Amino acid sequence: MCAFDYERKLSKLMVPEVVNALSAIHALRARRELRQELRPVELEGLREIARIQSTGASNSLENIRTSNARLRELVQMRVQPRNRDEREIAGYRAVLDLIHESHAHIDVTPNVILQLHRDLYRYVDVSFGGRWKDADNVIAETGPSGTLVTRFVPTSALETPDAMAGLCSAYARAVKDGRYDVLLASALFTFDFVSIHPFNDGNGRMSRLLMLLTLYRGGYDVGRYVSLEHEIERTKETYYEALAASSAGWREGENDYLPYVTYFLGVVLACYRDLDERMAVLSQGSSDERVRAFFAGRLEPVSRREIADALPTISSRTLDRVLARLQAAGELEKVGAARATRYRWVRPLTWQRDGVNLTEA
């Protein structure tokens, strides 16, 4: 069984790329804390979009899906689940909401993790919810010939309770010690959790929920406003590559955590950058100015849904009017049709950031 010697492992991670990523995250977190211009309704809009995207993306990574309309209704608790996938989605939403609302009172312990896993399956009739795995499992992938190929052999079922106790103790010691940023402890914890693979099912989704919880507990609240899971889904190929690269030699305690830690910090940094951009956009005055600010620096066409999610306080009818106005003025063009419709900016942009007029060349 792997020994979780976090003091030694954390000391090896203080390389330039990690230090630079941490510095960038700290700067954006400080900038977010200084921003006071957004109204509660705007922040609530960001939170609601993040809840929907987090629930959809984390389940989608495990091939658990429903339509976009049903996903939104399930997250908003306006409908009842109608099949197995939707019941699992509803369970994820319940645990996600609990973490958002009560993270300060949720300790990272084996018993708490078991309770969260139980709640993940609260709407599904299974016997394994809230219990460690009762059979050995493997992490496999489909090879070129279509057959399953074992990529990694996790901790055995017999060793799992002790492994989870050791993991939680190592994480608690690293956080209490305080010599290294809690982001690094969170990264090692989530990677080791996936490597133990302590449950019969739900390990991937639990790892992402625990990622959110440990970030909250460390004072990083970006996941409240921007979906970490959505960013992981967007970069899932890199995610799986990082997991694979850091897995070699794990059982012997000789693995290199750096590939996964670098990816982990990249996700957090991307979310803080996204939040910074969204807050800058939402701080603009009129609806037209907000849409213009949204397009600032974007070269690729975007969908109406992406615009609406970034600007949650602009009503659907108002957004349609703004898009029509900007198209008529020759500032914006529509490409594609029906569900493939996208919008692209075609004129140099002028917008404000922190009270300064900026123009895109």
CA dist 198 and 110 (Å) reads 10
Q: Is the whole-model pTM more than 0.85?
A: no
The residue assigned the tokens 């099949």 is: 83
Contact 301, 343 (CB under 8 A): yes
Q: Which residues contact 356 (CB under 8 A, 6 or more apart)?
A: none
Write the DSSP symbol of residue 66. Answer: -
pLDDT score of 358: 45
Instruction: Quote the pLDDT of residue 149.
Output: 76
Check for a shared fold between 38-278 and 284-359.
no
Domain boundaries, the chain: 38-278, 284-359
pLDDT value for 45: 84
Pairing of strands 139-142, 350-353: unpaired
142 strand-pairing partners: 148
Range 284-359 classified under CATH 1.10.1050.10? no
Q: Provide the pLDDT for residue 328.
A: 85
| Cα 16 to Cα 22: distance, rounded to the nearest angstrom | 10
303 neighbors 342 (Cβ within 8 angstroms):
yes
> Which structure tokens are listed for 109?
């312990």
| pLDDT value, residue 297 | 66
Per-residue H/E/C for 79-136? CCCCCHHHHHHHHHHHHHHHHHHHHHHCCCCHHHHHHHHHHHCCCCCCCCCCCCCCCC
> Do 163 and 198 touch, CB atoms closer than 8 A?
yes
List the structure tokens of 164.
Answer: 């989870």
**pLDDT of the chain, 361 residues: tens digit per residue:** 677 999 889 999 999 999 999 999 999 999 887 765 666 777 888 899 999 999 999 999 999 999 999 999 999 999 999 999 999 999 999 999 999 999 999 999 999 999 999 999 999 999 999 999 999 998 877 666 777 778 889 999 999 999 999 999 999 999 999 999 999 999 999 999 999 999 999 999 999 999 999 999 999 999 999 999 999 999 999 999 999 999 999 998 899 999 999 999 999 999 999 998 888 777 777 888 888 888 876 778 988 888 888 888 788 888 888 888 888 888 888 888 888 899 988 866 554 444 444 444 3
Cβ atoms of 57 and 232 closer than 8 Å: yes
CATH class of the domain defined by 38-278: mainly alpha
